[in-house]
Amino acid sequence: MCSDISHYTIQQNDKYGRYLVASRDLDAGELIFCDTPFAVGPKPDTPPLCLGCYVPVDNTLCSRCGWPICSVECESSSQHVAECAVFATAKVRFQPVDDWTTCAPQLDCITPLRVLLAKEKDPHRWQYELEPMETHTEARQKKQTWSADQVNVVNFLVDHCKLGNKFDKELVQKVCGILEVNSVEVPSHGGFSIRAIYPRLAITAHSCVPNIVHTVLSNDYRVQVRAAIPIKSGENLYLCYTYALSPTLVRREFLVESKFFYCDCHRCADPTELNTHLSTLKCSKCDDGVILPTNPLENEAMWMCSDKNCGFKTSSAAIRKMLAVVQAETEQLDALEPGPAAIEQREATIKKYKSVFHPRHSILLSLKHSLAQLYGRVEEYNIDELPDVLLERKVEICRLVLKTLDVITPGETRMRGMMLYELHAPLMFLARNEYGAGLITSDQLKEKLQEPIKCLADSARILQREDPHSPEGITGQIAQQSMEQLIASLESL
């Protein structure tokens, strides 16, 4: 069941525009509202995807309109029928491409067209839900994407697709702005990320320490919004618009580039990021100091050693350049197939930069987050083959990530649920290894297994709220089964 408006009110001010406020006390995990997308479709710069289910296609086109479609079923899907009629009537076909794995700007028009067709079908919903949305037109006009949208979307739809009798160019550009500023990335049936515009989700305010979470259901792309932590009546509902594990410099630049505002939340304003040190560097000039921004809300502020006797300074431009170089290096690791090299090269990279970054710096923590998921799951590092030293390494990493999540994404979040699931296995194997070696009694074993049982219980509770077909939802079901089996095995001891 989806909750109604009694859980929140819509308010407005100069800082957030429209935003949502809890109208009563909410419990962690409580469903606040569901939202149906006004439109769903490809993101800009995606490769050719089926316009029905979003799987990659290669020269497979709709028999009626000649645009990418993977099957007869998708050709007749509700996603595609209306736009199919537009393209077929205008006799505008998708132009074949040489490489079907590279981005196809031709698809940039699809989601804006779907918004326009939905506006035509439901003008009342458009008027009250989408038309008031912020578009940041003046700021967007200064970006390269404005001229690209003008050619690939506005002129294409109005002139080539002959829609000028229904939609003027100013309206089409407004729709491009609504999508750029307010849409969210969602997983698709085909595995590729796409975008959707949710009227209520779009007006939740941003914070780099959010208090709500959202789940997209794969069958109809509805979104469920829940409280991540207990929320008091009168408190704002905050969603995080950016990747939570990014450092402040990266988060704030992403937000100004994509959402046209500089975040000044309490996490961004704190040089230590609430003592998580996700942005902190080690000082190479002294033993005791760390390098922090003198004013994290000022992009060009100097960075300085915390040891007053050292006095080392560097520019934010130098920090930004260094981060970009190391980030490019770590992104190459993401391209590795899961296997021994994926673990060993990440560990080598952490060792390489341990004298540069704080142990909890975003870049190192992201590598450790990946390692937490790889240890126990790849060839030569299967969980039942790991020596105690590597089981302890996995425990250490999981606890470090969880400690950071407690601060920056507190409460019942997907990332927390997945990390709790990763933590249970090494804890369980370490306890069993101790028992098998005769180091602890059966009663002590039972006591030690209470923590993995709690990890599984919390993981199952959080992740079973996810879409049952998603990786997180499937993990939630496995966590529930594993917990029941572990409890049963304890009873037989």
Q: Which domain holds residue 481?
A: 375-493
Where is 405: in which H helix or E strand? helix 388-408
Is 194 a member of any domain? no
Q: Based on the structure, what is the number of domains in the chain?
A: 4
Listed residue (489, 493, 466, 490) closest to 478, CA to CA: 466
Q: Do 426 and 413 share a structural domain?
A: yes
| Residues 337, 343, 347, 348, Cα dihedral to 10° | -50
Strand partners, 227: 212
Question: pLDDT tens per residue, the chain (493 residues)?
Answer: 455 568 999 999 988 889 999 999 999 999 999 999 999 999 998 889 999 999 988 889 999 999 999 999 999 998 899 999 999 999 999 988 888 888 889 999 999 999 999 999 999 999 999 999 999 999 999 998 899 999 999 999 999 999 999 999 999 999 999 999 999 999 887 778 899 999 999 999 999 999 999 999 988 899 999 999 999 999 999 999 999 999 999 999 999 999 999 999 999 999 999 999 999 999 989 888 999 999 999 989 999 999 988 989 999 999 999 999 999 999 999 989 999 999 999 999 999 999 999 999 999 999 999 999 999 999 999 999 999 999 999 999 999 999 999 999 999 999 999 999 999 999 999 999 999 999 999 999 999 999 999 999 999 999 999 999 899 999 999 999 999 999 999 888 7
In the listed set 339, 361, 383, which residue is the last one of a domain according to the structure? 361
Contact assessment for residue 267 and residue 244, using Cβ atoms and an 8 Å cutoff:
no
Q: Do 329 and 286 share a structural domain?
A: yes
Is 419 a member of any domain? yes
Other Cβ atoms closer than 10 A to 386:
21
Q: Do 15 and 93 share a structural domain?
A: no
Q: Do 218 and 329 share a structural domain?
A: no
Three-state secondary structure call for residue 21: strand
Q: How far apart are CA 210 and CA 213, in angstroms?
A: 8
Pairing of strands 193-197, 39-41: antiparallel
User: What is the model's pLDDT at position 225?
Assistant: 96
Pairing of strands 238-239, 205-206: parallel
Q: Do 406 and 307 share a structural domain?
A: no
- What is each CA distance from 188 to 118, 277, 285, 296, 467, in whole angstroms? 20, 34, 49, 36, 12
Q: Where are the beta strands (DSSP E) in 147-283?
A: 184-187, 193-197, 205-206, 212-216, 223-227, 238-239, 281-282
Helix, strand, coil percent content, the chain, rounded in steps of 5: 45, 15, 40
- What is each CA distance from 194 to 191, 202, 218, 434, in whole angstroms? 9, 16, 12, 47
Pairing of strands 303-305, 290-293: antiparallel
Strand partners, 194: 186
Q: Do 352 and 322 share a structural domain?
A: yes
Is 52 a member of any domain? yes
In the listed set 361, 386, 412, which residue is the last one of a domain according to the structure? 361
Is 192 a member of any domain? no
Is 367 a member of any domain? no
User: What is the model's pLDDT at position 219?
Assistant: 83
Gyration radius (Cα) of the chain, Å:
25
Q: Do 44 and 174 share a structural domain?
A: yes
Q: Do 82 and 11 share a structural domain?
A: no
Cα-Cα end-to-end distance for the chain: 41
Q: How far apart are CA 189 and CA 34, in angstroms?
A: 20
Where is 18: in which H helix or E strand? strand 17-22
Is 191 a member of any domain? no
Pairing of strands 193-197, 184-187: antiparallel
Strand partners, 236: 21
Token pair in block for residue 16: 């957030």
